[in-house]
Amino acid sequence: MDSKKLIDSIRKIPDYPKPGILFYDITTMIGNKEVFCELIQSLAERYKNREIDFIAGIESRGFIFGSALAYTLGVGFVPIRKKGKLPFTTVSEKYSLEYGFDEVEIHIDAFGDKKNARVVLIDDLIATGGTAQAGVKLIQTLGAQCVEAVFILHLCELGGKAKLQELCDVHCVLDI
């Protein structure tokens, strides 16, 4: 995947959602069929020979990348959602935010009867890593193995990748 082409396809919005923040808007990238397809194909190449059983995507932008990757690999897709959004029995994991806590959940039967399922966790970006750490812990709680967590963007200065590497391998397409 051509890193320059990928970063050039992402809209940068200064001072959003608050002054001093540079927001990376992926909607322009996923709307660019050439770049989006090339990104998904390059990720599929990375995982095609790794015996992956499921792709788990973190709400909400992880659903976009995760479902496309799962389809391309011919494996199942598992959503990891904010508390109260899944209709069946769930397990949950809390994580800390700048001010307080939040919580994500996964269906208790997300990996079916597959013992030691091999899972790739995906989201659009990793910043401080709290949500991703919670996602990996949920996968592990259900007896599955998080083979790798993958992110399109890594906001290097926030340190999330280093924290997540304590739990699993991490791959970032772009380091910013």
Contact between 127 and 155 under an 8 Å Cβ cutoff? The reply is yes
Q: What is the pLDDT of residue 54?
A: 98
Q: What is the pLDDT of residue 98?
A: 66
- State the catalytic residue, choosing from 38, 46, 59, 61: 61
User: What's the whole-model pTM score?
Assistant: 0.96
- State the catalytic residue, choosing from 34, 51, 98, 157: 98
**Is 50 among the residues known to form the active site?**
no
**Is 98 among the residues known to form the active site?**
yes
Domains (range + CATH), the chain: 50-175 (3.40.50.2020)
Which ranges of the chain have pLDDT less than 70?
98
Q: What is the pLDDT of residue 51?
A: 98
**Whole-number mean pLDDT of the chain?**
96
96: which residues sit within 8 A by CB, 6+ positions away? Answer: 130
43: which residues sit within 8 A by CB, 6+ positions away? Answer: 65, 69, 72, 150, 173
As a whole number of angstroms, the distance between CA 111 and CA 123 comes to 19
